[in-house]
């Protein structure tokens, strides 16, 4: 119940395309869903986060879509750029508990 | 601010040796986390501290692993004795005020145990 399942494991997208990464969870008590971005040789960094009181959050080219009934949330990267090539982690937590990370998606954007 | 500082960045050691990884969190952050990253298991939380006190060490793999936080600006993760399966990148992260606040990660310590 504590797991966050992330897919796909890797993703190749052409420049200008849409990258979509999906995550699913079981614990209905989760109330915070962040996405972290990690470049090679660096630590992960917070990209965008959402709480279940909204179904979508957009920051620039990055959008989180949240489906509470399906217990799923996804990251959409519009107009993907080579600079977006990184590993992306979804995560989930309850207010008083630790973050549970997904296993990561390696995104490669080719020119 | 300098961010979370970890050392060493790379460590190569032989099986059976003691390994000590170090972390300096961001000043003023109340929470400190140690994570391990591998291809197979992704990011695993090993232990976290709140105000220098260990709160949850359920992710520590076994007794060979230990972590301390003697003061607000320093933490260590020790592996003794080390084994090849401990090879991974170990990250330290800190956050201000809330356990679910934004985590600020260091650049990691890549450990290779031969």
What is the nearest CA distance from A32 to chain B, expressed in angstroms?
Answer: 8
For A5-18, the pLDDT digits (tens) are 999 999 999 999 99
For B69-112, the pLDDT digits (tens) are 999 999 999 999 999 999 999 999 999 866 667 899 999 999 99
> Cβ B108–A43 below 8 Å, yes or no?
yes
> Cβ A98–B106 below 8 Å, yes or no?
no
E strands, B1-114, are: 5-7, 10-13, 19-24, 31-38, 42-50, 53-56, 65-71, 74-79, 88-95, 104-105, 109-113
- Closest partner residue to B105 (CB to CB) among A41, A43, A95 is A43
Mean pLDDT calculated for residue range B29-41: 92
The predicted pLDDT at position B97 comes to 67
Confidence of residue B40 (pLDDT cuts 50, 70, 90): confident
Q: Show Cβ contacts of residue A69 under 8 Å, excluding neighbours closer than 6 positions.
A: none
Please state, as a whole number, how many other Cβ atoms lie within 10 Å of the Cβ of residue B80. 13
Chain A residues touching residue B33 (CB < 8 angstroms) = 98
> Is A2 or A44 the better-scoring residue by pLDDT?
A44
Yes or no: say if B20 and B77 are a contact pair by the CB < 8 Å rule.
yes
Mutate to test the interface with A, among B33, B37, B43 (most CBs of A within 10 A): B43
Confidence of residue A98 (pLDDT cuts 50, 70, 90): confident
């Amino acid at each position: 119940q504590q797991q966050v399942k992330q897919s796909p494991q890797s993703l190749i997208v052409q420049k200008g395309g849409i990258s979509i990464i999906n995550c699913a969870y079981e614990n209905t008590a989760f109330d915070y869903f962040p996405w972290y971005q990690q470049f090679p040789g660096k630590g992960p960094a917070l990209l965008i986060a959402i709480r279940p009181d909204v179904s979508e959050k957009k920051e620039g080219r990055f959008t989180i879509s949240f489906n509470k009934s399906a217990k799923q949330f996804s990251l959409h990267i519009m107009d993907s750029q080579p600079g977006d090539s990184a590993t992306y982690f979804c995560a989930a937590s309850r207010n008083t508990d630790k973050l549970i990370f997904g296993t990561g998606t390696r995104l490669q954007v080719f020119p | 601010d300098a961010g979370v500082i970890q050392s060493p960045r790379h460590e190569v050691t032989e099986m059976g040796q003691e390994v000590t990884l170090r972390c300096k969190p961001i000043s003023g952050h109340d929470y400190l986390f140690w994570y391990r990253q591998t291809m197979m298991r992704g990011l695993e939380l090993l232990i976290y501290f709140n105000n220098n006190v260990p709160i949850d060490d359920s992710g520590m793999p076994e007794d060979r692993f230990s972590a301390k936080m003697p003061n607000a600006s320093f933490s260590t993760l020790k592996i003794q004795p080390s084994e090849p399966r401990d090879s991974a990148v170990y990250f330290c992260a800190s956050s201000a005020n809330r356990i679910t606040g934004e985590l600020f990660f260091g650049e990691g310590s890549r450990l290779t145990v031969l």
